[in-house]
Chains A and B, each alone.
Chain A
Amino acid sequence: MDPIILGIAVVNGVIVGGLYGAIALGLSLIFGVMRVINFAHGSFLMLGLFIPFWLWKLFGVNPYLAAVVAAPALFGIGYLIQATIIAPLFKRERAMVLEPLSVLLLTAGVGIMLDNLALMTVGPDFRGITMEFAAKALWIGTVLNINYTRLIAFLVSLAITVAMSLFLARTDLGRAIRSTAQNRDAAALCGINVPRVYNITFGLGCAILGIVGCVMIPFYLVSPAVGLAFGIRSFIVVVLGGIGSIPGSILGGLILGVVESVTAQFVTATSASIFSFVIFILVLFFRPTGLMGMKV
């Protein structure tokens, strides 16, 4: 295998992997803090892609600027859904430890509703945006080219990761979230309003998707069904990187991206996805906390 080809494959894998990591970030956060497997994750991504699209379509707003609208909007939607639909489940369980099954089903139901409400309102069409800038690429040599918008998405993904890590480490709210993740009852005893922390966490997880959607829409597309493709992949990333670990999410994404990209050079891409699952299973068996995760 030509080392140049291999090198290019790795670079491409890294670029796309960073984005996988950012997409999975919210999932990891929500699971790490609340033990909620959010099956509606893909649906929130769909919303995160639709908002910049419509802002561009109706008002000509640059998708990168749309993040100013998308992130708070998605934060609000996530907060609302957590506070009204998922929170009752917490209240019901005495030990405040959720049956994984119930919450999984609940979020699955929410996801189905979101996807199909979108279908009903805007129809099934696939839509994308066209930007002059979007088609330009950074060329290194004559063979390696990195599309600018994907590069930006990669850098933004890194930036979000760093920002989240700092937020969790340095701010009061961040500390509150972390302590709730470690031990909910102890946190409550320290005076932390646990339900509010949950709402905020869920909102944050979704807000990240708002930003991600804005950097994705220039090179990707959106439709009511777009979330489905990201569901399983996000889980693989989260498990690989470690549940609840922010840097782990990026790491997991990078690994997945590179593995997909490199194996696709050797075998056909459909078979390559089996590799991803095999790695997934191996990690689950031999290091279930993932590469950087906290003990569950």
Chain B
Amino acid sequence: MTTQTRSHRALRYAVPAVVLVLFLLVPTLVRGEYYLHVLVGVMFFAYMASAWNIVCGYTGQLSLGHSALCGIGGYLSTLLFINLGLTPWVGMFIGAFCAMVVGVFVGYPCFRLRGPYFALTTIAFAEILRIWVENTEEILGIELRGAQGLSVPLKGHSPGLFQFDGKVAYYYIIIGMLLAVMAVTFWMERSRIGFYLKAIRGDQDAAEALGINSTRYLLSAMALSSFLTALGGSFYAQYFRYINPERNMGLDLSIEFALMGIVGGQGTVLGPVLGAFLLTPAGEISRATLGGKFPGLHLVIYGLVLVLAVLFLPKGLIQPIRQFLGRGAAGRAGGKSAAA
């Protein structure tokens, strides 16, 4: 029994549409590559947090190893490009597929663990991969360059090779990717998978008692998340044109993804996006204004924002926004309730 009136429904579609149009118009409205650069960064993290959210937000498990998947995507597409000349447009999907296999393979034993144990295991797996890559100069004749990282060969403006002059193209690509991942999340929420995941998140034992094959659904979510995360890793490689194990497979990055997903509101479509939109500019602005003058202060502020967000926005940023937009009680459950 919906209490939504026609105007509510119109609002639901009109508001996102208008916001989207505004963002699409940004490059034409605003001059300044730096500003665009910040937005690309924000969108990138929004994308990654959303991809993370697909498995973690909906299953209630905390993965702190997602940077490994990002790194796999970035490394594979770059290696294929350097060694075989394969365009990253194709390479990124190969990388994503491999990441998906790895994700499922690792997830299978991991999902038997709960809570903090799961989180610690994901950290361990990611660290193993990172350390292995850091220590490997070459494998099977392919140069991995270990800790020194890989530079993507510069080809100037070549759209076919996923390299562009300027930032505008990257901006639109990442917006496209973000919309895609949001759409996938939206669809998944309403599908059978989403339904079962909600049950599993609520109480895994009870769900299994009801005959739900939790492993299958958890792994499906993991596969999806891994695939999308790796695509993001390839984007990173093409945008910054340099990747190394420390940054791209490191714990810091995993924590950043998780942070944005949680602070924004995990288990929702918009949550991670909001989290990225809050935390990324907060970090940028405080570093830009304070970083050069008072080293460390901007990070103190970042930590403070984090603490405040957890204390006062327990379900994430999305909750007050939702209430404001009148979707509070009548809205979809969407995994919003924190699992017991």
Contact = CB atoms under 8 A, between A and B. Distances in A.
A235 interface: yes
A273 B115 CA distance: 24
A268 interface: yes
B310 interface: yes
A273 B124 CA distance: 11
Contact of A278 (B62, B128, B135, B306): B128
B148 to A, nearest CB: 14
Contact of B311 (A85, A277, A278, A288): A85
A88 B307 CA distance: 11
B262 A102 contact: yes
B98 to A, nearest CB: 20
Interface of B is mostly: helix
A170 interface: no
Given A273-B131, A274-B131, A277-B128, A288 B306 contact: no
B127 A116 contact: no
B307 A277 contact: no
Counting chain A CB atoms within 10 Å of each CB, the highest count among B117, B255, B310, B339 belongs to B310
Interface string B236-271: 000000000000000100010011001100100000
Contact of A97 (B127, B299, B340): B340
B307 A284 contact: no
A99 B315 CA distance: 11
Contact of A116 (B113, B128, B299, B307): B299
Contacts of B153: none
B131 A232 contact: no
Contact of B297 (A92, A99, A106, A116): A116
Contacts of B276: none
Interface stretch (A58-66, A107-115, A140-148, A190-198): A107-115
Counting chain A CB atoms within 10 Å of each CB, the highest count among B124, B251, B339 belongs to B124
Interface stretch (A67-75, A117-125, A206-214, A255-263): A117-125
A239 interface: yes
Given A102-B314, A273-B131, A110 B303 contact: yes
Nearest to B132: A274
A104 interface: yes
Nearest to B304: A113
Contact of B262 (A92, A105, A112, A273): A105
B120 A284 contact: yes
A37 B120 CA distance: 10
Interface in B291-318: 294-297, 299-300, 302-307, 310-311, 314
A281 interface: yes
B125 interface: yes
Contact of B121 (A89, A92, A281): A281
Interface of B: 62, 109, 112-113, 115-117, 119-121, 123-125, 127-128, 131-132, 134-135, 251, 255, 258-259, 262-263, 266, 294-297, 299-300, 302-307, 310-311, 314, 338-340
User: Which 8 pairs show the lowest CB-CB distances between chains A and B?
Assistant: A109-B306, A112-B303, A119-B296, A113-B303, A116-B296, A109-B307, A116-B299, A116-B300
